[in-house]
Structures are given as C-alpha cells and as structure tokens.
Amino acid sequence: MTSSEETIRKIREGSIRTIARTLTMVENGTAGSQELLDGLFALQKGFTLGVTGPPGAGKSTLVNRMITRYRETDCSVGVIAVDPSSPFTGGALLGDRLRMQSHATDSGVFIRSMGSRGHLGGLSGATRDASCVLSAAGYSPVIIETVGVGQAEVEVAELADITLLVLVPGLGDDVQSMKAGIMEIGDIIVLNKADREGIDQLESYVNASLDLMPAQIDRPEVVRISAVTGEGLGSLWKAVDRLIEKQVAFDRVSLSAVKTLSGILEETGKRVSDMLLKMEYNGRGEAEQLILAGKISPYAIGKKLLERAERIFNSNECQ
C-alpha cells in the first residue's frame, strides 16, 4: 500500500487526527496533497451547504443551529469556517468556532477554521479541497461558512450545492438590494434577527428586488428567522430540504466535477505562471524588482510569459 492509500484508508475509517493533518496538507499545498485529493475525489458523498452574508449577520450562530439540526437526524456534520487573513501580516483570528463550541466534543461533528490567506471571493484557496476531504471522510452535509462578505464575494455559490444568504436589518436602503452580485447567489435568503427593528422593511426590499428577477431564474425563498431564539428555523429547514430534494434529481457528481475543474484550472494557471516566471525572470521576486525599478510594466511581463509558453508549445508540437 502506498502512503497515500494508507492515508485514504485512515480518512475513511474516521481517524480524526489523519483528517485534520490532511486538511493542513491541502491547505498548505504540501507535496502529495494533489495525489490524495485525486484519490478522495470519487469517494465524496452527500451534499454541501454554503452560508454567506455580511459580517455580524449571524452566520456562525446559524451554522451552530444547523449542526444541531442535522445531528438530530444522525448525520455526521463537517464545517469549514473561513475568516479573513490580514493582508499585511498573514495572521488571522479565527473566531467562528466560538459559537459552535458546544459541539466540540461530539465525535459526529468536525469543525475546521481556515484563514482566507489572501484569496478573494469569500473563501480560502483550499476550501474546495478541504470540503472534498471532509466529504470523502463521510461528513454530510459539509457546511461552508464564508468570511463576512460585502457585495461581490460569490464564490461559495460555485462550491456549495445550496447557498444560504443571511441578511440582517439596518445595512442600507433598497438600492443595496438592487445591486448585482451577492443578492443573486442565495438559493434561500435568510432574514436573521427577526426581532430587530427594520425587519419588515428589509423583507419588502428583498421581495421587491426578487420581483424584478428574470423569469428563467428560480426565485429564492425568503425565510425570517432568529438564529438566537430559534424562531422560524422550522420553516428554514423545510425550505432547505425541498431544495436538496430537487438537487438530487441532477447528476450531482458530474455537476460538482465540472465545478471543481474550474477551481483546478485556476490553481493550475497559477502554477504554470510560476514555472514561466522562473524560466523568464528567475522567479517572481526578480520580476517584481524589475517593475519596481521601472524597467518593465506588469503587462509586458504577462505578454512575455505568454510568448514563452507559446514557444514551448510550438517547439513540442514540431517534435
């Protein structure tokens, strides 16, 4: 048995330490992680739920409720909670777990916090891979909580089977709900903090905005809840279950495979760029120095790399 097969066997057996270590590997892009993911990909089962929304909307509190709900039905639940990394130091305070610690000692729940590590879009670069690991380990659903988002961080919708957009009163007027981006990705729109002033207004803004949606797009359900008191959660679970049932009708494996490919292509692109930079400029550092010294523009570097790639490609074709 290769070490990769051995690791996969342990993950399937539910070894917490192995799963945790594997998550670290895929997060750091350690050698061997691609081979592991290749082996784990086909073993994925179950579904993924995305939870997104602005900072302080109550995402973690809602995720905590979701864990309880799925544990009642004996599902093992995986959670990936992403918080922002500092663009200056790379450090991060990962505090989502704080609201979920009541599940910490439940062996049917695996919670992992991740820093966004410079990745834009509301997730981290390795969230998809981490979800693959947890799913292959038998956790279903895998719940993915994004960083607190603004208007355009819509990546989670690509990754999750169903995305819950959590909104709260008091974050702006009706023009905010007319903007493109985040308002378009919720399969369900959750209006949290239903006990707060402004909830009626928020609901009417959201509904007015949905009224104008193109007819070919499925209109998302709007559900009022209070994640703290539990009010409205029954209706939310029903809405989620209805969508899950619909989704199962699709060929989910191939759908998720195609989605995964676009993520992989992006990563591959980065790696190829790095290789080309190494050939052309002895690495990224030197290219940056040239830009700083005013000797070349970033655009010219991009062009040179593409030309280099073309030359390599052409010379191979002639052989």
Partner 1 sequence: MDRKIRVLIGKPGLDGHDRGAKYIARALRDAGMEVVYTGIRQTPEAIADAAIQEDVDFVGISLLSGAHNHLFPEVARLLRNKNAGDIILFGGGVIPEEDIPGLKEAGYAAIFTPGTPASEVVEFIHLQMVKRP
Catalog residues that contact partner 1 under the rule CB under 8 A: 16-17, 19-21, 23-24, 28-30, 85-86, 89-95, 97-98, 101, 104-105, 110-113, 115, 117
Rounded least distance, CB 101 to partner 1, Å: 5
Rounded least distance, CB 111 to partner 1, Å: 6
Rounded least distance, CB 220 to partner 1, Å: 32
Q: Residue 281: enclosing H or E segment and its boundaries?
A: helix 252-281
Instruction: Give residue 35's region: left, alpha or beta (phi > 0; psi -120 to 50).
Output: alpha
Q: Tokens at residue 27, please?
A: 């997060």
Rounded least distance, CB 161 to partner 1, Å: 23
Cβ proximity to partner 1: between 33 and 48 the closer is 33
Q: Residue 250 carries which DSSP code?
A: S
Cβ proximity to partner 1: between 124 and 163 the closer is 124
Cβ proximity to partner 1: between 89 and 316 the closer is 89
Cβ proximity to partner 1: between 94 and 210 the closer is 94
Long-range contacts from 1-7, C-beta under 8 angstroms, 24+ separation:
3/32, 4/32, 4/35, 4/36, 4/39, 5/39, 7/36
Q: Residues 103, 271: contact at Cβ < 8 Å?
A: no
Place of tokens 């029903």: 238
Rounded least distance, CB 98 to partner 1, Å: 4
Cβ proximity to partner 1: between 266 and 307 the closer is 266
223: β partners: 190
According to DSSP, the β-strands at 77-83 and 188-191 are unpaired
Rounded least distance, CB 47 to partner 1, Å: 21
Cβ proximity to partner 1: between 111 and 240 the closer is 111
| First and final C-alpha spacing in the chain | 38
